[in-house]
């Protein structure tokens, strides 16, 4: 029977465990696929595997703690061996959109501190071109409207801009990240030059980070209806 989307995520997470060795210093991603990975890692830890991990969100921290995974911080352990995280979109060159779960800033900091970033995802995340998924841009609440204008101008300097929406939380107020910031979701439809856009957005005061991960992921494990396949960055 073909695997459904959640089974695909779990199958990818299970395969990623094969890259975890005793003593690995891990970055733990955020989202429903990363949740499967943390769950399966917890089983291995309870069976005796010794690893240490940095979570990329408070949600992942709580889950990892409940699973009995030994946690550290980047202050105590500034260099990690491997980060395993999900993605919202994966392009053929392995550039990514991340941040659908709102953890992009910590996810990027942790991935950058890791020797290797491994992406786990279901088949629906593989796209020919990034941009159908709204690009999350994490901003400071201070000066929000000025930052919003600057973001629009920066995008328009590179390609066609689109609706820029402040992400809202379930409580009807602006969604607040673990770092106390807000998120603009940029509905661009397509991103013609992810590297140029990443560079332009990074230069805006008030933008803490954005969900474009370019040149960071080395490998993606994709759960597909018929099983798991691995893509490596060439």
The residues that touch ligand 5RP, with contacts defined as CB under 6 A, are 29-34, 85-88, 98-104, 107
- 107 carries an active-site annotation: yes
> Residue 73 burial by CB count (10 A; 0-12/13-18/19+): exposed, middle or buried?
exposed
- Tell the smallest beta-carbon distance from residue 50 to ligand 5RP (Å): 26
Residue closer to ligand 5RP, measured from CB, 42 or 157: 42
Given 43, 107, 123, 138, the catalytic residue: 107
Residue closer to ligand 5RP, measured from CB, 88 or 209: 88
Residue closer to ligand 5RP, measured from CB, 50 or 187: 187
Residue closer to ligand 5RP, measured from CB, 76 or 208: 208
User: What is the rounded distance in angstroms from the CA atom of residue 81 to the CA atom of residue 21?
Assistant: 10
- Tell the smallest beta-carbon distance from residue 126 to ligand 5RP (Å): 12
- Tell the smallest beta-carbon distance from residue 149 to ligand 5RP (Å): 25
| Beta pairing partners, 52 | 25
> Residue 17 burial by CB count (10 A; 0-12/13-18/19+): exposed, middle or buried?
middle
Residue closer to ligand 5RP, measured from CB, 6 or 143: 6
| Beta pairing partners, 47 | none
- Tell the smallest beta-carbon distance from residue 32 to ligand 5RP (Å): 3
Q: What is the dihedral of CA 168, 150, 140, 59, to 10 degrees?
A: 50
- Tell the smallest beta-carbon distance from residue 98 to ligand 5RP (Å): 4
Known catalytic residues are 107
């Amino acid at each position: 029977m073909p695997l459904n989307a959640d089974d695909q995520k779990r199958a990818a997470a299970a395969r990623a465990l094969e890259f975890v060795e005793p003593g690995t210093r891990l970055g733990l991603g955020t989202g429903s696929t990363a949740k499967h990975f943390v769950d399966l890692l917890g089983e291995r830890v309870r069976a005796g595997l010794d690893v240490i991990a940095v979570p990329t969100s408070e949600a992942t921290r709580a889950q990892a703690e409940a699973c009995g995974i030994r946690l550290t911080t980047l202050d105590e352990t500034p260099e990690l061996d491997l980060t395993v995280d999900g993605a919202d979109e994966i392009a053929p060159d392995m550039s990514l959109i991340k941040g659908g779960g709102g953890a992009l800033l910590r996810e990027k900091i942790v991935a950058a501190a890791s020797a290797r970033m491994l992406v786990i995802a279901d088949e629906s995340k593989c796209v020919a071109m990034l941009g159908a998924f709204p690009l999350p841009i994490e901003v400071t609440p201070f000066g929000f409207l000025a930052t919003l204008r600057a973001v629009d101008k920066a995008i328009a300097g590179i390609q066609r801009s689109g609706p820029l929406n402040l992400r809202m939380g379930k409580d009807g107020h602006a969604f607040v990240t673990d770092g106390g910031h807000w998120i603009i979701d940029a509905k661009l439809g397509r991103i013609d030059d992810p590297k140029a856009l990443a560079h332009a957005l990074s230069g805006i005061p008030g933008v803490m980070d954005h969900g474009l991960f370019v040149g960071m992921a080395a490998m993606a494990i994709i759960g597909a209806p018929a099983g798991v396949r691995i893509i490596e960055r060439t």
